[in-house]
A and B are shown apart, each in its own frame.
Chain A
C-alpha cells in the first residue's frame, strides 16, 4: 500500500507534520512534545547544540525510533508506528551523519541499490537476465547515470566506495538517496568534516536538488553560515525541546536561541 503521491500536494502545503512527539530512552528524554511541520518544496533546517535531539528527530521521522507519544503525518496520512522500510516506500530518503555507504560495492552499485524499490522484476527474470529484466536494469542504469552526471562523479563510478575520500563518499551517499526519487530528503550533517570548497559544492548540490527535482529537504547542520543561507525555515531544538521555529533571520535574533548556544549566566 503506497501513500498518495507527493504531486497531489501543492507546493507550500504541509508535506510532513510532527505532532507532540516525545521520545525517551529509559529515563533519558531525547525529545519532549516537539511539533513542527515541513512544507512541500522548502529547505527546512533543524539546528541545536550537541545532544539537542536533532538526529533522534530524524530517526523518528524515518521510522528507526518509535516515539512514546505523539504522531507523524506524512502526505496527509497519520501514523504512529512504522518501519524504516515503510518510510522508504512512502518516499522518505536519508543520509547519515557518519557516512553509511555499502563499503564493498562500487559507487555505481551503491547508487543503483538506491533504486531497489523502483525495480520490479522478480528473481527468475533477474537470473536469466534477458528481456524485461535486462531492459529494466539498463533503464535504471540510465537514471543512475543522470544522477552521477548531476553530482559530477563520473570518474569514480566504478571505484569501491571504501577507497574514496570522505567528501566524495558523502556525495555518493547523497546520490544513493536521490536515486530513490524521494519526496522528502533528510540530510544529517551533510557538510560535517568538509573543507570550504567541499562545503560550497555540497551547498550547490542541495540547492540544485531542491530547485531541479523539487525535492523537499530537511537538514541538520552545525555550520550556521550554511544553514542561514540555504534554509527557508529553521527549527531550533535544545535538550529535546523546541525553542524556536522561524525564518533564519528571526532565529538569529531570538534570545532563547542565543542563550542555548552561548549559555546564560546563573
Chain B
C-alpha cells in the first residue's frame, strides 16, 4: 500500500536513470543517512561505536571494493587483506614521515598506493580466469604479508613489528572520541559509496559487467579487456586500500601485519558472497551480517537467561554461525541483497497477491 510507484511518471531520462527511481526508496535512503549522521550520535554508546558501527562501515567499504572486482567485473580475488595492508602501511608511512599531511590526503594516498599494487597484481588476470586467478591473487596476499612483516622500513624498524598511529585531526578538529571517529568514517563511506554507484551505472560499470558476462562479446563492441579488467582492479584496490587505512587508523589504532592476513581476505569475500555479488547494498548487508551475527549469537544465551560457560558459548557461536551461512547460501544463493529485492517486489503488490 505504502510502497507504490504508481503515478510517479518520469519526464526525463535523467529522472529515469536516477539511483533510486522510486520516490519511497529515495526518502528511505535520505532518512537513513540523516539518521546515521544526526540521530545515532544522540544515544549511541562507546560499545556500539567501536564494536558495531565503525567495523561494519569500514568493512562495508572493503566489501564494496571487492564487489567491484568480483561481483561487477567477475575477477575472483583472495588478495583483499593484502591490499588493505598496503593501504594501512601507506597511510602509516605518510603520516609518520610527513606529519603535517592532511588526513584526507593520507587516506587518498593509501588508496592510490593500493591501486598501484592492485593493478600490478591484476596483470595476470589478462591471461588467467576464475579459480586460477584466485590462486594468483592468493600469492599476492602471501607476498604482501611477508613484505610488511620482513621489510623493516615499512614498520619504521619497530622491534615488535607492531605500529601505532598518533593523534588524528582533520582541519584542526580532533578525531579522538568514538563518535568523532564514527562520523568521519560514515562521511567517507557515504561519499565513496556514491562514487562507486556512479562508476557502476556509467560507462565504466557497463564495461566491467560486459567483461564479466561475456568477455568475447565485450571485445567485439570495442571494450578492451586490458582496460576493463585493470580499471576494475584499480578502482577496487583503491576502495580496499582506503578501507585498510581506515581500519588501521580508526578501528585498531595499533596493529601488526597479522591484522590483514588471509582470514581478512576470506572474511571480506564471505561478506560479498553472502551479501550478494554485484550489489552495493549487498556489500553493506553482508558486512553487517558477518560482523553482527557473531556478536548477537554470543550474547543470545545471556539475553535468554540460559546459564552457559563462555567457552561453550564461543564454540556454539562458531557452529551456529557456520550453519547460518550454509542455510543462507542454500535459501538464496544470490545473497541477502536478492532477498531484499524480492521483499520489495512483494511489498509493491501488498496486500494483494497479484
- Chain A residues with CB below 8 A from B203, complex form: 116, 119, 121, 126, 137
Q: Is the CB of B216 within 8 A of A180?
A: no
Q: Is the CB of B202 within 8 A of A96?
A: no
Stretch in A40-48, A67-75, A82-90, A238-246 touching the partner? A82-90
Number of A-B contacts (CB under 8 A): 100
Q: Is the CB of A117 within 8 A of B202?
A: no
Q: Is the CB of B206 within 8 A of A123?
A: no
- Chain A residues with CB below 8 A from B14, complex form: 134, 138
26 residue pairs A–B, Cβ–Cβ below 8 Å: A83-B219, A84-B216, A85-B223, A96-B217, A100-B214, A101-B214, A101-B217, A102-B209, A102-B210, A102-B212, A102-B213, A102-B217, A103-B214, A104-B209, A105-B210, A113-B209, A113-B218, A116-B207, A116-B210, A117-B222, A121-B203, A123-B231, A123-B235, A128-B198, A133-B202, A180-B221
- Chain A residues with CB below 8 A from B199, complex form: 123, 126-127
Mask, B175-218, CB within 8 Å of A = 1, is 00000000000000000000100110011101101101110111
Q: Is the CB of A85 within 8 A of B212?
A: no
Q: Is the CB of B204 within 8 A of A126?
A: yes
A108–B235 CA distance with the chains assembled, in angstroms: 24
B: number of interface residues (CB 8 Å): 29
A101–B217 CA distance with the chains assembled, in angstroms: 7
| CB proximity to A under 8 Å, residues B203-249 | 203-204, 206-207, 209-210, 212-214, 216-224, 231, 235
Tell me, rounded to whole Å, the shortest Cβ–Cβ distance linking A158 to chain B: 9
Q: Is the CB of A100 within 8 A of B224?
A: no
Judge whether A114 is part of the interface by a CB distance below 8 angstroms: yes
Judge whether A216 is part of the interface by a CB distance below 8 angstroms: no
Judge whether B13 is part of the interface by a CB distance below 8 angstroms: yes
Majority SS of interface residues in chain B? helix
> With contacts A113-B218, A128-B195 known, what are 7 further pairs, Cβ within 8 A?
A62-B220, A64-B216, A88-B221, A96-B217, A103-B213, A126-B198, A142-B13
Q: Is the CB of B206 within 8 A of A112?
A: yes
Chain B residue nearest in CB terms to A90: B222
The 10 closest A-B pairs by CB, nearest first: A88-B222, A102-B213, A117-B222, A126-B202, A100-B217, A129-B198, A84-B219, A113-B206, A141-B13, A127-B195
Q: Is the CB of B213 within 8 A of A104?
A: yes
- Chain A residues with CB below 8 A from B221, complex form: 88, 93, 113-114, 116-117, 176-177, 180
Judge whether B17 is part of the interface by a CB distance below 8 angstroms: yes
Chain B residue nearest in CB terms to A109: B206
**Contact A129:B202 (CB < 8 A) given known A88-B222, A104-B209, A104-B278:** yes
Q: Is the CB of B209 within 8 A of A109?
A: yes
Q: Is the CB of B220 within 8 A of A105?
A: no
Residue of A94, A116, A128 contacting most chain B CB atoms (<10 Å): A116
Chain B residue nearest in CB terms to A121: B203
